[in-house]
Structure 1
Amino acid sequence: MEFSVVYFPEKEVASFEKRDMTVSLHPDQLLIKTDYDLISAGTELANFHALPNTGTVGNNFPYYPGYSASGHVIQTGSAVKKYSVGDKVVVSWAGHRSLIITGENVNVFPVPEGFDMKIAAAAHLCSFPLLAIRKLQIQLGEACLVAGQGLLGILAGQLARIAGAYPVIVSDCSPQRRELALKLGTDFALDPTEPDYIQRILKLTGGKGPETVVEVTGNINALLQCLECVADNGRISLLGCTRISDQTVDFYKYVHRKGGSLIGTHTFARPKNDRTNWGWSEFDDYETFFKLVNSGRLNVDSIISKIASPEDAKTVYEKIGMLSDPPLGILLDWTNIK
């Protein structure tokens, strides 16, 4: 059977290829035709450029990016019970490809009836900021700073507001992203390059700083700003991947002395569908995602800025890979691709 795939054959090169595959499903497996998948610019471009602490460091190519997709079941194994041909699903960690084989209990979750499959493609990605907000355990009326307004940051700001934070303050260097955050309901949007940035945060929080912070940029300088302004006994959720540690952190001054907490919120730090060691699983967050979008509380449409054909992957990645401010969300449309 023919299928198509997008991958990085070498550093800073993206390719679209058609290949052949033999489909021989295990009894518990599904064959899924991808409808849409979402490019996660931060993670994928880090691997595109072979940055430290990525899957491509040390010239480890080829690399297959892509981890948040939607599609429909076209074939089932003999023992599959949860899904039938035609069922709509979201799929994680499958790469950018037209056909996906996965176990029925592994990286797949049902999409509610009538849900937009373009938006469904963001379900797995949205589970990341959901985890970050859950781990902060925001109390009603606590201030929350979200540093960075890329895909995850825009979602985290909305989720902090839903969780009862006030005020919700976001920061980003891009005026367009700050404007979007305000339109989506954030209370204040600041430029972190302004000389009075820290002072403005303190003023907006009554002089004590925000009790909760979501650091989304993955930039060590942004983390240092968060450490400086967070309230005593405050919590900082490390949502962005701080891959490059090129600055010294004074842990005594900013963590130990202030009684602060640094919380790792990488998606692998939680169970997929088992609550034994943590109260909320990845699958729980998919369900929450669908509820919040369907209720109108969470706006995902605004993060999708472009829909592209996978056949144009080379141009798409080379363009966004060289931009300092890439488009927020780019969907790959696989509906007409075998």
Structure 2
Amino acid sequence: MTETMRAARFHADTRTNVLEDVPIPSPGPGEVLVKVAFCGICHSDLSLLDGTFPALLPVVTQGHEAAGIIAAVGDGVTGWEVGDRVVPSAGRPCMQCRKCRRGDLTNCLNIQLMAFAYDGAWAEYTVAQAGGLTLVPDNVPLEQAAILADAVSTPFGAVVRTGQVQVGEAVGVWGVGGVGTHIVQLARLIGAVPVLAFDINPAVRERALELGADYAFDSRDPDLVQRVAEATGGKMLDVAFDSAGVKATFDQALQCVMTGGRVVVVGLSGQEASLGPTATFGLSRKHVMGHLGYKNVDIETLAALVSRGRLDISRSISEIVPLENIAEGIEKLHNHIGDPIRILVQP
């Protein structure tokens, strides 16, 4: 093994991503070294570059949706071997908050995010905690496994945990890109009916119908509320997911849920949203919840669903670019070139 590797590094002072040769990291106690096979390019990566997310480190390797093969194990690691196909968790507990001090690591109050608080996987190798790994079934391609760590697991957490969607509930999804596409698929998988998709792009709306939405509407339609009423038999939505996270989509989602309905904000932006007059909001008994991330066990659940043919994410891989062309992948996602669900980097 050579002593250095290629990595795409974010520099906070210039807000740029630069390809560099850096030392290959060594796994510490309880850690493994993963040879990265694929890593996704996520909108949160762009949010670090454009300043929407504040930088936590002066320089950090980006990329948090990874899959690869264990290349080395650190001291004290049991149950994992060199050659295992794995997905690293995209976060690790802080080990300092009151939850961590009590041993409740999965509910850490200050979770450290990969590629923000520590080096990520837009690189040839990355270090991961053994306790956060998920074994990839042999029949699941590593490029599909990579996007389980966020692009699919975050929607899973939003649908199953935060939104608590039940069989037969009407669900709406605003913004049907990398996150919204999987919310549509997962909501249908657990029995939501009908599933409505909202997007300004006609090609994206058509794709949403192909992947499981019952209806797909232009979110700019002035009669959108009436369209939702007609599609749901007059009851409106039980749960609305805002995958865009901008004021316009939040306002529409809140307007389109029934009395007592739930709005789950999954998309993140710098825009501000309002609940309107407190009297109106209180009388509506609506619930608005923010969602971020997933539990590590969710990746295992999703890997099993993919392995057994219950969930098809093969169309989610829009393109794979070499690490040396990372700038091209970033530009395509930023400008929505080709309407990508997920673009992957291959070191």
TM-score by length of 2: 0.84
Matched residue SS, 2:258: coil
Is the 1:157–1:168 contact (alpha carbons within 8 Å) kept by the matching residues of 2? yes
Q: Residues 251 and 85 (structure 1 numbering): CA distance in 2 closer, same or farther, change over 3 Å? A: farther
Q: Residues 8 and 103 (structure 1 numbering): CA distance in 2 closer, same or farther, change over 3 Å? A: closer
When the two structures are aligned, how many residues end up with a matched partner?
Answer: 313
Unaligned runs of 5+ in 1: 271-281
Structure 2 distance, partners of 1:289, 1:145, is: 22
Cα offset, 1:333, TM superposition? 1.1
Structure 2 distance, partners of 1:131, 1:50, is: 26
Residue 45 of structure 2 corresponds to residue 20 of structure 1: no
Structure 1 distance, partners of 2:173, 2:221, is: 16
Structure 1 distance, partners of 2:144, 2:40, is: 9
Match of 1:196 in 2: 223
Match of 1:103 in 2: 129
Match of 1:5 in 2: 7
Describe how 1:159-238 pairs up with structure 2 within 5 A.
Answer: 159-238=186-265
Amino acid at match of 2:254: L
Matched residue SS, 2:169: coil
Q: Residues 320 and 265 (structure 1 numbering): CA distance in 2 closer, same or farther, change over 3 Å? A: closer
Structure 1 distance, partners of 2:181, 2:136, is: 23
Deviates more, 1:129-138 or 1:12-21: 12-21
Is the 1:208–1:232 contact (alpha carbons within 8 Å) kept by the matching residues of 2? no
CA-to-partner distance for each residue in 1:97-133, whole Å, 9 max, x for gaps?
A: 211122211x322111232111000111111011111
Describe how 1:1-338 pairs up with structure 2 within 5 A.
Answer: 1-9=3-11, 13-21=16-24, 23=26, 25-40=27-42, 42-51=43-52, 54-56=53-55, 62-91=59-88, 92=90, 93=114, 94-105=120-131, 107-125=132-150, 126-134=152-160, 135-245=162-272, 247-252=273-278, 255-267=281-293, 282-323=295-336, 327-334=340-347
Q: Residues 47 and 328 (structure 1 numbering): CA distance in 2 closer, same or farther, change over 3 Å? A: same
Amino acid at match of 1:19: V
Structure 2 distance, partners of 1:161, 1:119, is: 20
Find runs of 4+ consecutive structure 1 residues off by over 6 angstroms: none
Is the 1:228–1:254 contact (alpha carbons within 8 Å) kept by the matching residues of 2? no
Structure 1 distance, partners of 2:308, 2:278, is: 44
Structure 1 distance, partners of 2:18, 2:136, is: 30
Cα offset, 1:15, TM superposition? 2.0
Structure 2 distance, partners of 1:114, 1:295, is: 9
Match of 2:95 in 1: none
Structure 1 distance, partners of 2:333, 2:342, is: 11
TM-score by length of 1: 0.86
What's the RMSD between the two structures over aligned residues?
2.1
Unaligned runs of 5+ in 2: 91-113, 115-119
Deviates more, 1:282-291 or 1:325-334: 325-334
Amino acid at match of 2:221: E
